[in-house]
Amino acid sequence: MAKLLVKLRYNGTNYVGWQVQKNGLSVQTCVQDAIEKIYGIRCDVTGCSRTDSGVHANGYCFCFSLPFDIQPYKVISALNFALPEDMGVVDCFQVSDDFHPRYNAVAKEYIYKIYDGYTRNPFLNGLAYHYIGRLNLKLINDTASEFTGKHDFRSFMAKGSKITDTVRTVFYCDAKDMEDYVQIRICADGFLYKMVRIIVGTLLAVNEQKIDKNQISDIISAKDRNKAGKTAPPEGLYLSKVFYDIKEVENANA
């Protein structure tokens, strides 16, 4: 028996998210189909997180088990042959039977891409949020730092979520000019439903002077979704990294 941890990239444009759903094709379904095509077994596939419809991933992690031993490098090439072209396996490791890709994670990093050019960029279409307006990177960075630390992020959770424990620790939150787009990076020990997209929407509201940067602590304290900014659209969001060692988080923020 071999339990495998697989790191996957995918373009989420054509999918309803990671998890199997009745209303459309999911990434998880495609992974299960690919495994079945290769090995003739319909395996249970356990993911590290849910992602919403239209959201992408650079480093999504999932596990599945095979009833025989196999070299992980062979899984990489086999899955890349069987998966759709908008998905690609980056790496594969054998892990212990009790390893869980979600519960063993100590942190996750999301990035959000914003393109603020005046003209349309077809190479970022569906892969970044085309923001109409100019971004004040210094202001966004100054504001982003207000989210770091341990807080109750209820104000940044979408309505309808049943989660009751809304306290999370944000290890870093920053913005960087990537030439073609601005990248907002957020790493935390856990995320609430649409938390990253609401934080990004709040940063954009500060950029537009609809919210003052000095109000962030008050918005956090309010525990009221109505106080924060709008939810940014899904196409700019990527699950970037899943950390299974806290030292990796420290190195990422160095």
Catalytically active residues are 52
The C-alpha atoms of residue 71 and residue 81 are separated, in whole angstroms, by: 16
Contact 157, 193 (CB under 8 A): yes
SS3 content of the chain, % helix, strand, coil (to 5): 30, 30, 40
The residues near 52 (Cβ < 8 Å, ≥ 6 apart) are 17, 194, 234, 237
d(Cα 158, Cα 165) in Å, to the nearest integer? 14
Strand partners, 2: 66
User: Could you tell me which residues are beta bridge partners of residue 111?
Assistant: 185, 238
Exposure of 79 by Cβ count < 10 A (0-12 exposed, 13-18 middle, 19+ buried)? buried
Q: Which of 6, 4, 244 is nearest to 102 (CA)?
A: 244
Determine the Cα–Cα distance for residues 206 and 229; give it in Å rounded to an integer.
9
Radius of gyration, alpha carbons of the chain: 19
**Structural tokens at position 50:** 């849910």
Residue type, 155: S
